[in-house]
């Protein structure tokens, strides 16, 4: 069953009199439980696509149906609510609140949802334990490594048990070993049934997924099964670890 259905999606950014067509007629659908990578050169529209799919930005033309809900024309408040229940989003730069400790960061989406404080704590604790941070719950981002911060961000993205996890270059700022740790977490979440959509520049990261959507100049130029070829030197590939 399709959890994401996009038809003729167009995104135009307007800056003064200048219009830039960042996405130019994208049609695709993603089934529940798939693990999909989005690839393509810089400026090809990957982040624009993710931000629209993640309800962080709105499309200009076309249609987007998320888990049966038509997204266009929704108010900001309705969009925020849909996002909170349907999507976990992981950014390259973690986007954690610096003044809050790990567990408070993870509790944030549950606060918006109005979950009672003791239940919130319990759920946040479980999410942090599931990403291997059971011992780091009261540290602030500044006291943590990049990989640990990204794991806090993943815990925050999964704490509300949203069906879709989206990540825009989540390992872009991390070393190889930490990248592998993060990819293992995504794989485990995928095995539990979460739909995963991940933007990456690295072909080796894409080998962890099932399907690769390639963008160029705001268009979807190919939609193929991911290469499961794990031969070669690179230690980021899943089969080698």
Minimum CB distance to ligand ATP, residue 184 (Å) = 24
Place of tokens 């070829």: 229
In the window 47-86, what residues touch ligand ATP (CB under 6 A)?
47-48
**According to the binding rule CB under 5 A, does residue 105 interact with Mg ion?**
no
In the window 43-62, what residues touch Mg ion (CB under 5 A)?
46-47
How are beta strands 164-168 and 87-90 bridged, if at all? parallel
CB 134 within 8 A of CB 92: no
Minimum CB distance to ligand ATP, residue 110 (Å) = 29
Rounded Cα distance, 23 and 16, in Å: 19
Which is closer to Mg ion, CB of 85 or CB of 201? 201
CB 200 within 8 A of CB 215: no
Helices (H) and strands (E) in the chain, counts: 7, 10
Which is closer to Mg ion, CB of 160 or CB of 170? 170
The interaxial angle of helices 117-130 and 102-112, nearest 10 deg, is: 130
**According to the binding rule CB under 6 A, does residue 13 interact with ligand ATP?**
yes
DSSP string over 16-33? TTEEEEEEEEEEEEEETT
Minimum CB distance to ligand ATP, residue 40 (Å) = 6
**According to the binding rule CB under 6 A, does residue 200 interact with ligand ATP?**
no
Which is closer to ligand ATP, CB of 3 or CB of 38? 38
Give the DSSP H/E element, type plus range, for residue 132.
none
Number of residues that bind ligand ATP (CB under 6 A): 12
Minimum CB distance to ligand ATP, residue 180 (Å) = 22
Minimum CB distance to Mg ion, residue 221 (Å) = 17
Minimum CB distance to ligand ATP, residue 43 (Å) = 4
CB 38 within 8 A of CB 65: no
* Contact stretch for Mg ion (CB under 5 A) within 40-48, 51-59, 93-101, 110-118: 40-48
Which is closer to ligand ATP, CB of 15 or CB of 118? 15
Select from 3, 9, 36, 44 the one that contacts ligand ATP (CB under 6 A): 44
CB 207 within 8 A of CB 229: yes
Rounded Cα distance, 113 and 177, in Å: 35
The torsion angles phi and psi of 17, rounded to 5 degrees, stand at: -90, -5
In the window 187-226, what residues touch Mg ion (CB under 5 A)?
none
**Chain contacts with ligand ATP (rule: CB under 6 A):** 13, 15, 20, 22, 40, 42-48
**Chain contacts with Mg ion (rule: CB under 5 A):** 46-47
């Amino acid at each position: 069953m399709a959890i994401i259905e996009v038809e003729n999606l167009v995104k135009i950014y307007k800056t003064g009199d200048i219009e830039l067509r960042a996405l130019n007629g994208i049609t695709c659908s993603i089934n529940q439980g798939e693990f999909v990578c989005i690839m393509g050169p810089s400026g090809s529209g990957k982040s624009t696509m993710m931000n629209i799919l993640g309800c962080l930005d709105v499309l200009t033309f076309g249609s987007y149906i998320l888990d049966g809900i038509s997204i266009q024309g929704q108010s900001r408040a309705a969009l925020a609510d849909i996002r909170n229940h349907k999507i976990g989003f992981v950014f390259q730069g973690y986007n954690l609140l610096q003044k809050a400790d790990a567990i408070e960061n993870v509790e944030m989406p549950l606060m918006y949802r109005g979950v009672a404080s003791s239940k919130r704590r319990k759920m946040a604790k479980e999410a942090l334990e599931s990403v291997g941070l059971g011992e780091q719950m009261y540290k602030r981002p500044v006291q943590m490594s990049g990989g640990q911060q990204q794991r806090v961000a993943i815990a925050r993205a999964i704490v509300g048990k949203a069906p879709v996890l989206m990540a825009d270059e989540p390992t872009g700022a991390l070393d190889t070993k930490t990248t592998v740790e993060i990819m293992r977490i995504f794989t485990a979440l995928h095995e539990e049934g979460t739909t995963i959509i991940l933007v990456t520049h690295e072909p080796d990261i894409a080998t962890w997924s099932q399907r690769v959507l390639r963008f160029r100049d705001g268009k979807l130029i190919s939609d193929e099964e991911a290469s499961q070829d794990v031969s070669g030197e690179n230690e980021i590939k899943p089969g080698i670890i």
